[in-house]
Structure formats: C-alpha cells, structure tokens
Structure 1
Amino acid sequence: MAGYTTAEKQRGRLKIFFGYAPGAGKTCAMLYAAHEEQKEGIQVAAGFIESHNRADTAELLSGLERLPPLEISIHGEIVREFDIDLAIRRRPELILVDDLAHTNAPGGRHKRRYQDVEELLRAGINVYTTVNVEHIESLTDVVTSITGIPVLERIPDSVFDRADLVEFVDVGPGDLIDRLKKGRIYPDEQLQQKHAGFFIPEKLIALREIALRYTADQLNRIAVQLGEKAASATFYTKDHILVCLSSAISSKKVIRTAARMADALHGTFTALYVETSRTKELTAKNKAELRENLRLAEQLGAQVATVYGEDVPGQIAEYAKTSRVSKIVLGRSQHKTRWPAKSNIVDKLTASAPNIDIYIIPDNGPSLYKKFPQYAKSPLLTLADTGKTIGILAVCTLIGLWFKHLGFSEANIITVYILGVLLDAMVTKGRLYSGVTSILSVLVFNYFFTAPFFSLQAYDSGYPVTFLVMFSASFITSTLTLRVKEQARESAQKAYRTEVLLETSRKLQQAKDTPAIINETALQMVKLLDRSIIVYEVVEGELAEPLIFAKEEAAVDPQSYIFDDERKVAEWVLQNNKRAGASTDTFSAAHCLYHAVRGGDTVFAVAGIVMEQEEPLEVFEKSLMIAMLGECALALEKDKLNEKQKEISLQIQQEQLRTNLLRGISHDLRTPLTSISGNAGILIGNSMVLNEEQKKELYNDIYDDSMWLINLVENLLSITRIDNGALHLNFQAELLEEVIAEALLHVNRNKDEHHIEIRLEDELLMARMDSRLIIQVIINLVDNAIKYTQSGSHITVSARREAGWVVVEVADDGPGISAEAKAKVFEMFYTADNVRGDGRRGLGLGLALCKSIIHAHGGNIELRDHAPQGTVFSFTLQAEEVNVHE
C-alpha cells in the first residue's frame, strides 16, 4: 500500500466527460483528450476502459499505456476490475478511469469506483473519467420518471461538484438513434433490442435538457467559488433547508429533492431524524432502510441531526426554530389511510412553525413494502407477566370483597380495580396486558359485585354505563402509564448517553498525556457503545501496536481482530483520513468499523469498533461517538501543541544560555587571555633583562590563568554532558577519606594561604558514587571557598553518616553570602558580588555543575550560614556498608 498521507500530497485534478445517454461519445472524447495530453509530454495511463467491443474505442486505446486489470474470482467466473493498488504504485501523471458510477465486484477495496477515483486524487494523481446524467444521485428520481428504468449505480453529487473541469459531450438525439441502429453503441443485436425503449426522441430530448442544465449549474458553482476567492464576497443567501427523515424507502426521493433545492439556493442542508420510543422496535429491514437514508443524506452534503420526543411535528418545529431553518421538505404518500387517521403532520407542523416554508414531496411510486414503519413483534404472552396480571386481579378482588363486607359503595370497589390496572401497566411489558386487565376488571367486577352475583348478567339498567366508564378509565389510565414509562426509559437512556459524553470531556481535560487521553476515550467508547474497541496510536506517521479495550462478557475475544487484514484497513484510514471497514463501502468485509481520530488533515489515532455479531450503530450512538472522537482529537491536538510549546520554550532557554555563555566568555575570558599573552610577550622580549625571581612570578601568573581556563572548559564540558544525558555514571562504593584527599591535591594553588582541615566521623565511611565526578564537586566547593574568603581563612571539609546517607560539608569563615545571592548561587552564569584579587570574576559554572552532579547521584546540595560567620556548602550521597570480608 502506498505510503502517502493527505497532508503530504497535493490533491490531483478531476475532469469529467459528461453525457446524457450511452453512446454519446464520452469515452472517445476522453481518449482523444488523453492523446493530446500525451503529446504535451504528460505521462498517461489507461487504468480501466469500458470498450463494449466498439472498434473506434479499441483504435483510440492504441498508443496509450494500459494497466492490467485486477482479476477477481466470483463463483468460478473471472471478473476484471480496476486495480487501484497497481495504479498508485505506478503513479502516472494522468490516469483514465471509465464509468465513474460502476459498482465494483465483491472482494475489492471499495464498493464503488468513484471511491477508487477519490483515493487516486488524494494520492496526487490527475484523473479523467466519464459519467451519464442518470448516475447523478439527486437526478435519479427525475431520470427514472422519464425513462421508466430504475438506476442502481449512482454517484453522490459532491463527487461531481468537486470536479475541476466538466466537459459536456453532446450529440443530437437523431444522431444517437442512428448510432444505435448501426450497432455503434451496442454491437450485440439483443442489447440493441433491450435498450431500444430508452432511445426514444422525446426521452432523449428531456435527458439532454436535464444534462445541459446540470452542467450549467456546475459551471455557475465554479464561477461563484472563483468570485468568492477574488472578491472575498459571499453568495450565501442564509437559506437553511431541513429534510425530515424516516425509515420509508420513499425518503430517498425527498432527500434528493431537498439536496437539489439546497444546491440551487446555495443554502445549508440539514437532515433531521426524530427518534421516538418505538424506534428501537423497528424491524431489521426498516432499520437497514433508515441507515441507507442517513447515508444518502450524508453523501449529498447534509448535516445529520437527531432529536428525541413522541411529538414528531413539535420536535421538528422546535429544531427548525432553534436552527433558523427557512424551508422544510417533507414526504407524503398519496395512498389512502385507514380511518380514523392520526392528525396530519403537515397541519401540525404548519401550526407550530407558521413562518417557515414547508414543501411536500408526493410519493406516487409503487410500494416495495408498507409505507408505515414496521415494528419488531415482541412476545405477546410471558409466564412472568401473566402471573403478575392474575395476582393483581386476585388481590383487587379480595380487597373488593373486604370492602363489600365493610359496607363500602361500589364506587370504592371500582377505584380499587382502576388502581390494579394502573399497577399492572407499571409492572408488565407491552400494551396487551393492560388491555386484557381492563376487560377482565370489568368482567370480574360484574361477576362478584353486581346483582345477580356470580353471574355476568346485570339487572340494573345503569350497569352497562358503569361498566363502560370503568373500562374507559382503566384503559386510558393504563395507556398513559405505559407512555410515561416509555418516556422515562428514553429520558434515562438519553441522560445516560449525554452523561457519558460530558464525563468524557471532563476526563480528557484531566488526562496528562497522549496515552492517558487515548485510554480514557477508549474506555468511554466501550461504556457508550457496549462494544469492544481497538485503538492504534499514530507515532511518527505510522500505526503503533494496537491497544485493546474489551467489553465485559464479549462474545469474541478482540485479540482475534488484530491480524494483518484488519491492520491494513486501519492503515488505509490513516493514509486517507476517512472511515472504512464494516458497515461502510470501503473494506466492507472487515470485522471492525474504523474511524480516524483527526484534527483537520492530521490523524492522531485510528479507533476500531468491533461490529461482528453486533447490531449496527444507532443514529444517536453514531453521533455521540463522532463527537467523542472529536473531543479526543482536540485533547490530543492540545497535548501535541503543549509538547511543541515546551520544545520551543526549551529552545528559547538554550538560546538564552548560549547567549549568556558567549557574553560571559567574551567578557570574562578577555582578562586571562590578555594576561597570558602579555606575560608571554614579556618573557620572549625581555628574557635577558629579567632575573629569575621575576621570571618565576610571570610563570606563576601564566600557570594560574591557564589553570583557570582549563577548569572553565572542564566545567562547561561536564555540564553539557550531564544536561544532555550523554554522561555515563560509573557508581561504586568509595571511601570518603580517599576521595577528599584526592580532591585536595588538585585545588587552587593558593590553598597554602588558607588553613584547610579534614574532619571525618569514621575513617571507613563509604558512599555510592562516581568518584571522578564527586572529586570535581569537592574541588569546585573548596576552590569557591578559597576564591571568596580572605587570606588566612579556615576551610573545613567534613563528612558524617545520617540515616542511610552520607553528608559532606565544606565550611569557611569568610564574609558569607547575602540572602539575595543564596537564592541564585546554584544558577548557571550567576556570580556573587565578591571580586577576586586578580580583578576577575568566574562565569558562575562551578556551583551549577556541582548541583547537576549531585542530582545525578540522587542526592541534594544546599548552603547555610556558618556560625559565627562564613558559609557551609553540604551535599548528600547514598551510604554504603563496609564489606569486612574483602
């Protein structure tokens, strides 16, 4: 699979050769144009050409490179399809792909050829292709009404709209019919006879008019876009088109009409689905049709929205008012409805939203199945609910007999039975038991409590009215109870899902890094969808190892879904920044549905939802999942930006250190270098004049300045190695006495002017250290005491053991350090106000180096005042026990 990403490649250009009927010459016009491009030096390859055994087409193919087709075996027959992987590997500048609306054979990457073409464009390859007017999605219903032939292969209008150039290939209807008769369209006579009904002048004229108008609309759209870019003007008329979706097959016509309207008005297009309490009871066939309608709306550019409520017209009107909808498009069947029919939804919608234009799209076509939604039938009778119903009736009867014994009126007993019906509606499922309980309550009341007793007859003429009122009250009460229960269930589910989304947002804000963000998102997706989730993080443009988040009691172990074929789907999603897998038209045979966690053109991760043995995602679940992935992308993008900001801050700090270092070197190194060169010049030019004592003094000055420079360079190199992590520490148990003694051998030669003393709590005191670095620390601390104290000062180096640590101290009785300097003394390039006797100040690297070394050893370094005067520097090292056996 080619390793390109959307962000890295410039999108290829698409040219469509557009016609109004087969045989108009689209393929030939495309081949003529390809030959012209090839003459201009463009690399052209024929990816897939439908020649239909036409001699002129075969002749035009000569001279062009032809890519071998992909051969797929279906039930023993070989089917040839366009090989997209070969085309991407070959990467010509221009590729020819005939019949854009073609449906690929099962087993290919995409279901439709236009998806192959879109992938070629994303790969930066220019494409020439052909389309007929009947294949445009929004025009399908209009064309079908003219030809009487349903069109199964269609392309979304958005594919046509994104074309960089459309060339209308025109031929007169008479010439087209003449071509058919001469066998230039269908060489086979049977095919000619089969399509003869299509090639009728009236039909061809109508199709030609539609195609010309659609081409003109396309050119107008391009002109509008160019005008917007040139003048920074907007052609948006603030029209907002709302189409109302359902699970009916006729909704497709409504969606296409609304899409054409939104396109003509340059308005916003929204598809709204109102989910009620009975949506989950839809049959599998209706659910599949609903998903197809939603997918069609998305393909035609609609923003899909979902609302909940039993009052469908009220929900539509409320959404329309909130979203500033200007036009509502509805579908309505012309078939007669049974009496009594429900109130007309159009009338209710008109009353609720009187200021919004409402367009009704009639449906006169044949019904493939009943227009009203079909609901899955739940079991009518269950043993548990039957027992509950019988028990409630028995208890109500016993209470009624007790009331009768106490002398209560019949009205009180009727109330008991109504209460029983209400209770039965609450504890049983479905409407059957509520209706049966209402009828049985009337019969039982008549049997036990009306004269003649223990008979279903009634002597009193008023009893039938009593029975009717009792039945009506019971039935209405049970119906209202069931409705409240369903609404409460839906509200609880909606609140739960919304709570999951809000909880996701809160947890993502609290997540500290990328792994935590991905982990929280995956766990929330498992919680929301009740499905296993597989996440591939993107690291340096490649998929990392998958992270598996299995749902509880998963039927199939998610580990079985991380084999190579599934990973290839995830890689395709990464490269193309589009969803793929189960329930899509790309890699539809996959076991998981893969979505890109993306921010713009950048894909941060790929999330896979295990779909095998699971129902397809519901509309609201899908919307929440996409919102959740969007939240995850924002959090990951924020985390990446924070990392980049830290890198930039670190670079700024490094630049500041570099600037300070250069400033310090240019200022502070000038004096010793000048002194060395000056003293050397005196020795060279006046060696005969100077006596031995003067020469020795000059030699000592040169040596002091050289040692100062050497120590400076060593400190710079040590700090650089430690801060970059390039310094390898060799930890060993060392005797403090030996380390301190070695360090004092290399301190400033002016040590003889001071009294230096060593105090050890124990001669065998040992610590875990890298001895060469700790020697450097002690040298720097002692040198610091020598530099900043007066001649004759007392400097003490001591060490003692404290609770598993060894504390090393360097104390002096000098002038001490000010409170302001104490807070900065360990910072790089900071020097105290004390000035050395030679007029030079250090670069402020020694103590900073000491701090880095001690921290690398896991210890601490600090300073404090020394009583009665002076300063104490102390640091800690991990203590080691003396091995007596060695």
Structure 2
Amino acid sequence: MVANAARDETRPDPDSLLAANRPEGRGRLTIFLGAAPGVGKTFAMLSRARALRAQGVDVAVGLAETHGRSETAQLLDGLETLSRRHVAYRGRMIEAFDLDAALARHPRVLVVDELAASNPEGSRHPKRHQDIEELLTAGIDVWTALNIQHLESLTDVVADITGVRVQERVPDLLLSKADDIVLVDLPPAELIARLKEGKVYLPDSARRAAERFFRLGNLTALRELALRRTADRVDDDVVDYLKSHAIEGVWAASERLIVCVGPDTLSEKVVRTASRIASGLNAPWLVVSLERADREPSDPADPGRIEALFRFAETLGAQTRRLIASDFVAELLKLARREHATQIVLGVPTTRRRLFRLRPSLADELAAQAAGIGLHLVTGSAEPRPPRRTRRQDWMPRLLAACVACLAVAGATLTGLGIEQVVPLSNVSLLLLLAVVVAAIRAGYASALLAAVLSGLAYNFFFIPPLYTFTIASPHEVFAFVIFLLAALIAGGLASRVREQARTALSRAIVVQSLYDFARKLSGTARTEDVLWASVSQLHESFGRAAVFLTPSEAGELALAAAWPPDAELDVSDLTAARWAFSHREPAGHDTGTLPASPYQFRPLTSPHGVIGVCGLRWDAGPVDALSERMLLAVMDQAAVAIDRARLAQESIAQAARLQGDTLRAALLSSISHDLRTPLATITGAVTSLRQLGTRMSPESRDDLLLTIEEESSRLSRFVANLLDMTRIEAGTLDATRDWLDVGDVIRAAVERGARYFPDLAVETAIAPDLPLLRGDGVLLGQVLFNLIDNAAKYAAGAPVRILARMESGQLVLSMTDGGPGLPAEDLEAVFEKFFRRGGPDGRAPGTGLGLSIARGFVEAMGGSITAESPVENRRGTGIVMRFPVSPPETPEACSP
C-alpha cells in the first residue's frame, strides 16, 4: 500500500496531460506577438511562410496587411493568396477576409493577419478571432499577429501609459490557448527610426503617431509588457511539462510562493507582505491555512477570520487552499513540491522566549527540511499583552474545569482513604491517576493538568510517609512521586487528546451523515423545484437559520424560488445583494465587502454551465465554524449539481420528444410516400390510357379503367381520412357524441361497407338477441369496425372473418377474429401504436399502420377499451376485443325505435 501511495503521489497530473493533448482534428494556433505596430510581425510571418512553402507544405495567405511597406509586399510573391470578398462600408467598397473561401480551400497552414480586427457589418462573426476559431475547429493551422496593447486585461494599463484607449480588444484566453507564441521584438529607438523613415506609416500618419503613441517611454513600457506576458506563457509551459511528466521539486526558472496563514492577527500582515513580494517578482502565490486534523479550533471565531483572510488574499490576486494535517511540515513540503514553489512565506510572532521548548517551531523545522526552497519570515511588532478578560462567558468554563478537577481528586482521595481503613493498599496511586483521566475526559486538558498537580499533592500528603505532611522521607518514595506526577501529566494529556479527537470525529460524522442523507434525498428528485426546497430545508435544519434560494426567471430577473421558513421575506437591500452575487460571481451581503447591511449572506451557485442561482443564509447571528463552513459549501455544490442534473434531464426529455417527433414524421413521410404513390400511379396510368386510347378501347376496358380509378380514389380517401382522424386524436379535439345505438345495425352497416371494398373477404356475424342499446357515437364505432375489417383483409390470408356481439359481466363485448397466422405475444400491444406494421402474406407491410391506432382512440373516446388476442383457434388467428360499459336508458322513449 505504501508503494501504491508513492506511485499515486508521483503520477503525472491528469489536468496537465489533458491540456497537452489537443482535440483530434483541431488546428494549431501560432501568434506572432509584438509590442507595437511596425516591429515586423507580418514580415516575420510571411518569411516563415515562404520557408515552409519551400519545404513543400501547403501554405496560403488568407489576409496580410502590408500597410504600404514594399519589403513586406515582396514576400507575398510566390505565396498563394486567397481572394477577398468585397463589402460596402460607409459608401465605399472595401476588401475583407473571406472565411468561406478559406474553409473551401482548406490549406494546411493559413496566414490571417490582424487578430484583434473587427469584421464589417453583415459578416458571420463580428470579430476576426472568431473567424480564426472556426478555422481551427475545421483543422486548419492558423498564423496570426497581435500587438500587446490589444489584450483585454491590459486596456487600462495601456491607456494610463500611452493616453490612448485601444478600441479593438481580444480576450486574454486566446493567448493562453495558443499552441505557439513567437515574440517579435525591436528596440524602441530602432522602431522610432523606422517610423521617421516612413517604414511603419505614411508620412502624415507617422507624424501623428510619433506625437501621440510612438514615444520612447511608451514603447519601452509596451515592450516590457510584451516580454513579461511572453515570459509568463513560457513559465506556464514549464509548469505543465513538470506536472505532465510527474517531476517534483523546483526548477527556478521563475518564482512561485506559498504563504502560510492562521487565525492570528499577524496573518494579515503576512498576506500583505507576500502580495508585495509576488508583485515584485511577478510570481503566482498560494495562500494556505494550516489546520489540525484531530482537533477543533479553540476560538469559535477562528474560521470566520480565516474566511475573511482568504477573501482578502483573493482580492490581491492569490489562490487559496486549506491544508488539514497532523504533520504541518511534511504536508507543507509535499504541497510545495507539487506546486513547484520556490519560496515559503510565514509569520513568526514576537513573544517572550520560552525557557523550555518541547519541540522546534514551524519556522525552525522548515528551515531544517526545506532544501532548495527560500524561506521568508514575517515578524510582528511587539504588542502589549491584552487585558484580562473578566466576562462571565470567559471565566465560567475555567471555573467549571477547576471544579471538575478538584471533585475528581477529592473523590479519589476519599475512596483511597476509606479502602485503607479496611485493607492496606500499595498501589493507591492508581486511584489518583484515574481521577486525572476522568478530569481530562470530562473537562479537557486544563482540568487534567490541574488534577495531575492536585493528585501529586494529595498522594504526597495522605499516602507517602510521613503522612499529613509534604515531606518525603525515603528516596524511593521521591522517585515514586516523580514517576506518578509524570504519569499523571502524560495520562491527562492523552485522555484530553482522545476526548478532543472523539468530539471532532463525532461532529464530522454528524456532518457526513447529514450530507449523505441530503445526497440520498437529492437522488430521488427530478425537478428543480424539489431540489431547491430540499436544499433550503437542509440548510435550515443544519444551521438553525433562515435559508433562501433565488434563481433567474424566464425574463432573466432573479426571483425568490424557495425559502425556509416559508414566510421568510427579502427586502430591497437583500435582493440587491443577491443580484450582485449572481452577476459578479462573488459573495455579497452580511460580513462581506458588498452591501454588508443585509442580514443575509448570498453566495453564487456555480455549475459547469455558469451561475445558475444564488443561495442566501441568515448571517447576522454570527459566523459559522470551519466544519459548518465546509458543510455549507458541500450543500451548495450538491444543490448546484442536482439543479444542473434536473435541467439536463428536462432538456433530455425535450430532446427525446423532438427525436420521437422526428421519427414519427419520418415514418409518416415514408408511409405516405409508399402507400399513396401506388394508388396515385394507378389513377394516373388509367387516366392517361383513357385520354390517349379512349375511342379505340372497348367499353369493357373503359369500364375496368373507370372502376380502377374509383377503387384507388376510395383507397386514397381512406388514407387521408385516417391521417385526419389521427390528427384529431392527438390534438385532443375528438368529440364523441352520446346517442343510443343499436349495435346490430352498426355491425351490419360496417359489413356492407366492407363488402363493397373487399368483395373477396368472407365476413360472418353472430349478434346475441336482446342486446341492450349502447350509449355512443355510431359514426366512430362504424369506422372502428371498418378499420378492423380492412386490417383483417390484409392479414387474414383468405380465411373468413367472424364478428361477435354479446353481453359479458355487465359489459357489451364486440370481437372480431380471423384465421390468419396470428401475432407473437410481444406484438399484442404494439399493434395499437402509430405506424406499426407487420409483413402481410406476400412479405410486404401494407397500409399506413394507423388503422388500429385510430380504432383505439375512437373506442377510448366512447369510454370503452380494446385489446388484441392471439392465437385464437388451432394456434392461429388474431382476435380484437372491444368492451363497452352499458347503462340503462334514461327514459322509455329513448329506447323506442
């Protein structure tokens, strides 16, 4: 297991490996970075492009701005230049980069100048860097040029340096996502000389540029920005290489700081000092809080100080992390090796030197073990000792601990004296040692320390000769007394330590169980509303404070979605703080730097898709401890994941519905294209024959063609009627009438209609006498029977069809059976689905697959049910059974014919 742990610690960083692997099929982005116009970025790009072209690589120029420089324009000779598109702009025609032409040409390497430029109105993308992103996605390697002043984060800095605010800007993320950065550098003096010679701008433009932008100080500052940003990128590449190759330790190519802080007042000074050091070195820095794994903070306000310190450090540009361990030095050095830190900054308080130091300080141990890592010690100013606290809540716990120690020792002493009156004891010291353990378990280390001292005094006074004095006569008794005192101190310390660990373990177990119950509760919720209500109830139960969740409405406004207690209300200041937290992705409200007057503290709920809501917790009752803070973050994270999962589930259902709709539309189109084309072709052929050969055909042939046209037209009419009926059923507009029907008359009418369309189909009927009248729609019931006859004609394979009508268990039962091959058991329910068709006797699937689906819709509209049965007789045949509830007529006149 040790070996496995060592392998895990030295394995490559997964994030670095993923970052190093570019998505398959994506092109490489190379940025030629310069400090200012005229340093030679385009010249460098075209020079490299010509060299690459000479090696046989497919290189093309999509856009190259020469700005009238002849030496740059000469480099275009011999390079393929793609055509540009002409766009009307402010009354004149201009040339613009043609993205579609570049995608159609698809060279291996494409040169596209001026990364920060904007596209003319009407283009596919407003910015050129968006065009380049599409080219990269298409698998084309792109070379482009960028001046440092066009980076978004440097806009204000450049404006302060040059007095000119750059309008064309690009996100800094483009620079970090670039596969290669080529720095094109030129000393400011040479650049100014090129400007005066007219090699940068035309004479009039060069004069204005020299007066406003191209000053020696401006160019020097911009050059420093370009060099620093390139150095930062190279440093990131070094770190990624170290992590992806599992190389630990320090490569001092650049500085990285780890800053150790705690809840003491010196930590704020440590953070400020580390910020100045990191700013001077242009180095990233990580602020780490050190916490014991086996004990809780002594001061309940400590977690609040740590959180405030973290927020302060983050405003200064630091990253923050909690480090929970028993051995601070080992964990800190392990973290430093993982992060490749070069310096560690920590504070050393100015206090009186102790006469006896049981163990070296953290600074001393780091100095002894941190080989190759610099150590910065920040000392605090000598502060006066704080005045004694006399409040009751401060001295009452101490008085209680002292009482526990005194009572434990007094009880053990009296018990020992009582036993010695009966039986002499040689090991009475064990009773006093037990008193120390009891005091440690009941009241902590301070009580155990006092009990150890009192036990030693009681042991000397009552049990070591001469009795009732503090004098020890025998040397071996002195040794026994010293050993007893040391054993009492050690036992008390260990017992109090076990007590603290047990309390910490219990509190953590409660938190873990609470989070587990909350996770189980969320696992059974599928709607966002249920997730929000479960979350607010969990927060209220865990913290005993009012909790609210706010989510954006369809209009984009943040609105209260759930609150517990349910009557919790938010005023204008609360809603303003919540909107701030939502829009700025940082905490707002009580105990923050934004709208602290609100009694709530609002925190954004973040997911991979952005901020999805805001969680608010009543904070004016005081800050929470470290364990509760972690529980709050865990609940918020789980709630965000559950809300995101619910949203994705809803989108998945909607997507499944869209896919099902597409499938149904495709099936409908396929059915129509196949089943309607045949009668249309037959009708067209018959009409064409009548037109061309009408007078030359015999009367019998003309009658046959006319009969064919009539039959196929009826078939088309049935298809269209089925489609309309299905539309009415799905739209919910089917309105069945409720008239009294004679079922026998409806059956006979349907059989007569079927005989006209299917003269070869034999239909037998059996109608029970004295059937009651049925309350329903005769037209719909007749259509159902005709659809069943039509279906039987396709699949009965020439066997007769029987229609039965009878009463059974108070219901009117209509059944139709055929002697066909039957249906497998798995298709008995599927036959009523839309577009379901099985192969007929000839192997083809006839019809549109809507007849039985329409039949079910009509029967259910009349309050009945319809099912399929197979086999029916001799392992063959299919039966369709309809059941209708029968109610007595309302009046005798209703029963009369």
Contact 1:743 1:779 in 2 (8 A): yes
What residue in structure 2 maps to residue 482 of structure 1? 496
What residue in structure 1 maps to residue 473 of structure 2? 460
What residue in structure 2 maps to residue 844 of structure 1? 849
What residue in structure 1 maps to residue 188 of structure 2? none
Shift of 1:867: 0.8
What residue in structure 2 maps to residue 514 of structure 1? 528
What secondary structure, in the 3-state scheme, does the structure 1 residue paired with 2:880 have? strand
Normalised TM-score (structure 2): 0.63
Shift of 1:558: 5.7
Distance 1:433 1:233, change over 3 A: closer
Shift of 1:599: 2.4
Distance 1:518 1:363, change over 3 A: same
Superimposed CA distance per residue, residues 178-228 of structure 1 (whole angstroms, 9 cap, x where no aligned partner):
xxxxxxxxxxxxxxxxxxxxxxxxxxxxxxxxx999998655444557899
Superimposed CA distance per residue, residues 835-885 of structure 1 (whole angstroms, 9 cap, x where no aligned partner):
699x99322222343456667879563331221375334355673643667
What residue in structure 2 maps to residue 79 of structure 1? none
Within 1, Cα distance between the matches of 2:780 and 2:382?
Answer: 91
Within 2, Cα distance between the matches of 1:322 and 1:229?
Answer: 14
Equivalent residues in 2 for 1:152-551, closer than 5 Å: 163=155, 165-168=157-160, 220-223=227-230, 240-259=256-275, 261-262=277-278, 268-276=284-292, 280-282=297-299, 284=301, 289-309=305-325, 311-317=327-333, 319-320=335-336, 325-334=341-350, 336-340=352-356, 343-351=360-368, 353-355=369-371, 357-363=373-379, 365=381, 367=383, 378-380=394-396, 389=405, 392-410=408-426, 412-427=427-442, 429-451=443-465, 453=467, 455-456=468-469, 458=471, 460-462=473-475, 466-498=480-512, 500-501=514-515, 508=522, 511-526=525-540, 529-540=543-554, 542=556, 546-548=560-562, 550=564
Contact 1:248 1:371 in 2 (8 A): no
What secondary structure, in the 3-state scheme, does the structure 2 residue paired with 1:482 have? helix
Shift of 1:273: 1.0
What residue in structure 2 maps to residue 633 of structure 1? 640
Within 2, Cα distance between the matches of 1:460 and 1:496?
Answer: 54
Within 2, Cα distance between the matches of 1:771 and 1:336?
Answer: 105
Distance 1:761 1:503, change over 3 A: farther
Shift of 1:582: 2.2
Equivalent residues in 2 for 1:743-822, closer than 5 Å: 747=754, 749-750=756-757, 754-759=762-767, 763-764=771-772, 775-789=782-796, 793-798=800-805, 800-801=807-808, 808-817=814-823
Shift of 1:685: 7.2
Contact 1:796 1:812 in 2 (8 A): no
Shift of 1:392: 3.6
What residue in structure 2 maps to residue 133 of structure 1? none
Within 2, Cα distance between the matches of 1:230 and 1:441?
Answer: 65
Within 1, Cα distance between the matches of 2:396 and 2:534?
Answer: 42
Within 1, Cα distance between the matches of 2:254 and 2:530?
Answer: 42
What residue in structure 2 maps to residue 705 of structure 1? 712
Equivalent residues in 2 for 1:637-648, closer than 5 Å: 637-648=644-655
Residues 1:665 and 2:672 are matched in the alignment: yes
What residue in structure 1 maps to residue 50 of structure 2? none
Higher mean alpha-carbon deviation, 342-351 vs 616-625, is at 616-625
Within 1, Cα distance between the matches of 2:398 and 2:278?
Answer: 51
Q: For this pair of structures, how many residues does the alignment match?
A: 674
Shift of 1:244: 0.6
What secondary structure, in the 3-state scheme, does the structure 1 residue paired with 2:711 have? helix
Shift of 1:441: 2.9
Equivalent residues in 2 for 1:856-875, closer than 5 Å: 859=865, 861-868=867-874, 871-875=877-881
What residue in structure 2 maps to residue 194 of structure 1? none
Match of 1:833 among 830, 833, 839: 839
Within 2, Cα distance between the matches of 1:564 and 1:747?
Answer: 74
Distance 1:867 1:320, change over 3 A: same
Distance 1:261 1:448, change over 3 A: closer
Within 2, Cα distance between the matches of 1:229 and 1:433?
Answer: 54
Amino acid at match of 2:603: H
Distance 1:867 1:482, change over 3 A: same
Equivalent residues in 2 for 1:76-155, closer than 5 Å: none
Within 1, Cα distance between the matches of 2:220 and 2:261?
Answer: 28
Shift of 1:458: 4.2
Distance 1:452 1:525, change over 3 A: same
Residues 1:570 and 2:587 are matched in the alignment: no
Contact 1:329 1:360 in 2 (8 A): yes
Contact 1:538 1:603 in 2 (8 A): no
What secondary structure, in the 3-state scheme, does the structure 1 residue paired with 2:158 have? strand
Amino acid at match of 1:784: N
Contact 1:255 1:297 in 2 (8 A): yes
What residue in structure 2 maps to residue 583 of structure 1? 591
Within 2, Cα distance between the matches of 1:656 and 1:219?
Answer: 56
Superimposed CA distance per residue, residues 150-183 of structure 1 (whole angstroms, 9 cap, x where no aligned partner):
xxxxxxxxx9966564344699xxxxxxxxxxxx
Shift of 1:346: 1.0
What secondary structure, in the 3-state scheme, does the structure 1 residue paired with 2:597 have? coil
What secondary structure, in the 3-state scheme, does the structure 2 residue paired with 1:434 have? helix
Amino acid at match of 1:460: A
What residue in structure 1 maps to residue 619 of structure 2? 611
Contact 2:508 2:627 in 1 (8 A): no
Within 2, Cα distance between the matches of 1:732 and 1:344?
Answer: 94
Distance 1:508 1:819, change over 3 A: closer
The answer for unaligned runs of 5 or more in structure 2 is 1-126, 128-150, 164-217, 244-252, 893-897
Equivalent residues in 2 for 1:645-656, closer than 5 Å: 645-656=652-663
The answer for unaligned runs of 5 or more in structure 1 is 1-123, 125-158, 172-210, 551-556
What residue in structure 1 maps to residue 78 of structure 2? none
Within 1, Cα distance between the matches of 2:375 and 2:234?
Answer: 31
Distance 1:443 1:841, change over 3 A: closer
Amino acid at match of 2:682: S
Amino acid at match of 1:415: L
Amino acid at match of 1:709: L
Distance 1:694 1:876, change over 3 A: same
Distance 1:564 1:459, change over 3 A: closer
Distance 1:269 1:226, change over 3 A: closer
What secondary structure, in the 3-state scheme, does the structure 2 residue paired with 1:560 have? coil
Contact 2:812 2:884 in 1 (8 A): yes
What residue in structure 2 maps to residue 17 of structure 1? none
Contact 2:550 2:615 in 1 (8 A): yes
Shift of 1:716: 2.0
Shift of 1:608: 1.7
Distance 1:843 1:560, change over 3 A: closer
Within 2, Cα distance between the matches of 1:471 and 1:877?
Answer: 95
What residue in structure 2 maps to residue 716 of structure 1? 723
Shift of 1:824: 6.1
Amino acid at match of 2:676: L
Within 1, Cα distance between the matches of 2:583 and 2:524?
Answer: 30
